[in-house]
Each structure stands twice: as structure tokens, then as C-alpha cells.
Structure 1
Amino acid sequence: MRSLPMTSSVNHSGHPRNPGIDLDLSWLDDMRYVNRSALERRAQTLARRRSIKGEYQAAWLLRSIACMDLTTLSSHDTDERVRRLCAKAKQPLRPDMVAQLGLGDTVIRPAAVCVYHPFVATAVEALQGTGIQVAAVSTAFPHGLAPFATRLQEIKESVADGATEIDVVITRGHVLSGQWSALYDEVKAFRAACGEAHLKVILGTGELSTLRNVMRASLVSMMAGADFVKTSTGKETVNATLPVGLAMTRAIRTYHERTGWLVGFKPAGGISSAKQSLDWLSLMREELGLTWLDPTLFRFGASSLLTDIERQLDHYLTGRYSANHRHAIA
């Protein structure tokens, strides 16, 4: 039996929510200089400089599970598919692996299950009493181009059905045309519609053209009261990349330094390997510090990542890579 040095249980609170501040356009002007080449070079060094092996790698992979939003956002989703996903969230690792890892009473589960609005009630029922949050993608996900009143109503209905987290998509045109007041008002209205549910703002970074736009959109969303800023819907051609993650985490750090408020970060789209999850955890550790290595402030949007993490943990325990079919599918 092995005892790991770094395990984590899911916690949905622990930090005061970001209340937002008044829109400060002069601050946005100060953020107009973004050195893309420097961010890209920095991103390339993250994985090369920090190699995590053995029991420490296993522990960090368990942290990856605890920071995961286990997601199904397919056009062929059904209530039964969502129930199966929730069953996987409740028991993400085989019982024999849990015993061999020496976890004892420590419960390792994804932070949330993320679904479309019609399946919120199903997920809430399936996860009752587990502490796993139910997140709903909203506001005409993934394009965000429905009438504004319709998008607000979708948020309210998801909250009424029991969603405790709402992932919204912004109007990308506001960013591309520099309409920062319109973006601020939009996100502020989303926050009001969420009530007590946490607001995760999806920027759709692959469609924002420049890292400067990404950084400014992140900052405006935080000014408007975002609890998290999120890279992508997972439906864009380009989704979460480390340079984009650097731009967004540095905007989070700047906001924290000036206001004192903590805002979370969620990369999503294309994160499917255990190695990638370690790269993102390293980024958070080095750019924002240990405080952010917690599901209250960091999430992965993931659908297939969990299976690869299971295979890596199986290799740690046995020295062999197992076939995918040995692990229950989500």
C-alpha cells in the first residue's frame, strides 16, 4: 500500500466571491501591451523545466481529478448518458486502485459535472449528497448569439433546476470591436441572473484574434464579477493553449494585486492527456501559487482526460499501461 504526499478533496467554498468593481477603461489601456513571443517562450519552458515523477506525479494526477469538471456536451446526450457520467464522477477510480494508492478516508472526486440545461435536474438528482457540483453551460452555448433576454432566462432556469455553477459565453463581437462597456454590462447581468450560483465566463479565446484581446476580455469579465474566467467552449478550432493560459492567469494576478479578490481559472478544450494536466498545474503553481491549486480556483474542462489519468495511475502501481476498456467509461 502506498501513501501519497499530496491529496485533495473537493471544496466548493473557502474564498469570498469576487463582487466585481466599476469598469475602469484606463486600466484596460494599461493592458494594451502583450508580448506574444515572450509568452510563447515562457509556455515552452513550463513542461521542460519541471519534471514530476513517481509518487509526486501520482499525487498531482489525483489533484487533477479533484480539479476536473467532468463534461458531456454532445448533441446526442441523453438522461441515461448523464447518469452514467455522474456515476463515474462518484467513483472515478477503481476500488482496487484506491486501496493500492493508500488514500484511506480521503475522497477523490471531480469538482463538478458539466451538462446542457435540459440535463441539470437529472445530474442534480444523481449527485445528491456527494458534494459534487452541477455546472450548466448557458447563454446559447457555444455561439452565444441568441437574444439577450433568452440567454438570461436560460441562466435562471438552470439555477432553478439546481445548477450551482453556470458557464456562460460572451458575445465575442464586443471584444473584437472594442465595446468594453457592452461586455461589462453583459457579464454583470449574467452574474445577477446567477444569484448564488458561481459564474464561469467563457471567452472563446480561439476566436478573439490576439492575446491582448484575451487579456482585456479577462479583465473586463473580472471587473463585472466573474468567479472564473474560462478559455473556450471546446467547440472552437483552437481551444486551450498554454500561451493563452499565461495571458489569462497574469490578468487574474493583476486583478488580485489591485483589488484583493481571488478569481478562478478554467482551461477547457483539447486537454485529454495526463501530461497536459500536469503542464497546466505547473502553470498555475508558478504563475499564481499554491492557493490556486484547488478546485475552488482552478478547474479543467474535460471529457476524456480522466481515462488517461487512470491509465497513468495504473502504470504507477503496476509498471504497466492498462487498456482503456479496463476503466469504466464516463
Structure 2
Amino acid sequence: MVFPISNFLFFFSLMSGIMISISSSSWFGIWIGLELNMMSFIPLITIKMNSYFSESALKYFLIQALGSTLFIMSSCMFLYTPQMSPLLLLTSLLLKLGSAPFHFWFPQVMMGLTWPQAIILMTLQKIPLMMIISYLLTYPSLMLIISFSAMLSAMIGALGGLNTMQLRKIMAFSSINHMSWMLMSITISDMFWILYFFFYSIISSSIMILFNMFQAFSLSELMKLNQMNIIHTLLIPLNLLSLGGLPPFAGFIPKWMLIQLLINNKLFIPLFFLLSSSLITLYFYLRITIFFFLLMNPFSISSKPLMSSPLYFHFTPFLFFNLFLLFLPLTFMLF
């Protein structure tokens, strides 16, 4: 079991904190939801009492507590300094989100988590913070700061994953890089960042579910997998290429749409940073996938039926989601 039965109460309160934050009509209610969310996630980190989980929980608590302090202070300052308060509020949200230049804590916390905990940190924990940032777009001056944070996150997320062999750190910097795309989509359309977040969550979760199934935490452990199994040989590389946004995989769809929106809005400078960072991230995704294709034995794979693998039925939805864009051009040929 991923989490003990006793910890499902904390997971329920974590989801309740998310719902309170995104549905509250006051800053105080949003702060209560964020605090409930934070205090529910920390017990989920410390399932096993060892130094790695305790260190990650302590780092996460300190950063989130600092962000919450700035958040409630900026909320109280709205009546006195309406010009300074939104900037401080955005700073607290970017700190809690792990976006550049406040990204330093995110890879360190990720290194002490298991894969199910990393899925929660990379997906569910971003929902209320992204929603609150979308509320602040009524201030035009903050859009420039969000764009600057997005461009900085794109380059840091791309360059940070180059010289590491740890899969959790690679996924952490990948999350920082994808955060830049979501921040830019927030400045353009409220609904589009939800679409991008949906694609990002499904693809990244499918990769981390595979890593958790094989208990792989580094590239060397990933290379020790059974290369005779077609599930190992094809599913992990194709999911990584889809996460990198390589056409014709599913991860290319939201990036393609955002590129069109950035061109239509004449945001060429952020587009340059986003595209440049995507090329760099594809490099360290290809560094992982090249091992699978080089070590693949086509004769052994072809001699083993695909349906004989017990993992086939578990991963068919993820495989279909990441590859359905391959069959998308066929729909145009039918009309």
C-alpha cells in the first residue's frame, strides 16, 4: 500500500485544504486552507521515521511557514499599503510554489521523498497556489514579475537537470521548468493553465508511477531493469519524451497551443526563453531514453508477447494518453 490506512485522514484534510483555498472569498480563508494543506502534507512525508523523511519535512515546513508569514502579513497590509501588498503577496506565493528565484528548496525536499509523496508535491500542492496567483492578475504590474519568474524558472529548470544522475532531482527541475509554461499561460488565459496543468499532471504522474513500480531512484538503477520486457523498454522512454513536449506525443499539445497564444500576443521574449529551455530539457530526457534503445534486444522482445506482461493492463491508460496524438492526424483523413 502506498500510504497506511491511518494516513488517509491526512490525505482527506489535504484535499479539504485545497478546496477551502480555491473557494474562499477572503484572504484569511485562503490562508486557513493553505495552512490546513501544509499541516496535512507533513504527516504524509514522515510515514517512516528516518533522517531523510525528517529532513525533507523540516525543510518543507520552514519554507511553507515563511511563505505563510509573508502571505498573512501582506494580506493585513492591504488597507495601509495597497501598492506594496500585492507584490509581497505574489512573492509569498512564488516562494511556496517553488518557482524561480525561490526554487532552492524544491529539489532538496524532493530528494528525501518517495515517489507517491513526490506526485502529491508536484501536482496537488500546486493547485491552490496557482489559483491564487490567477486572482492577482487584476494588477498589471504583477504580470511583468510573473513573466520574469517564468523566464527564470525556464532556464533554471533546464540547466539544473543537466549534471545530475538522480531521477527525483531530474523530475524536480523538470517541474520547475514546466512551472514556467504554466505561469506564462496564467498571464494569458485562466482556463488554459488548467488545461496545461492537466496534461502535465497526467504525464508526470505516469512516469513517477513507473519509477515507483520499479523502485528506481537513479539512472544506474533504471539501467538495471529487465530490458527483455517491452513495457520497460518502450513505456518509460515514450513517457519521458511526452513530458519533454516532443511531437507527436501528448505533451506537445499544450506547448503547441501556448506557443500560438504567445505569438498572437506578441510575447516573443518569453517565448524565446521557453523554447530554448525545452531544447535543453529534451537533452537530459533523451539521455535517459537512449540507454533503453541501445540496450534493447529486438529479437528477445519480439519473441515475448506483449499481453503476457502483468503490467500491461495497469499501464494501458497511460500509454494511450501519451500516444493518442500519434493517431490524431488519422481523424482528419477520415473527413
More helix by share: 2
Q: If you compute each CA radius of gyration, which structure gives the higher value, 1 or 2?
A: 2
Please, what TM-score do these two structures have when normalized by structure 1?
0.24
Please, what TM-score do these two structures have when normalized by structure 2?
0.24
More strand by share: 1
Q: Which has the higher contact order (CA 8 A, sep 6+)?
A: 1
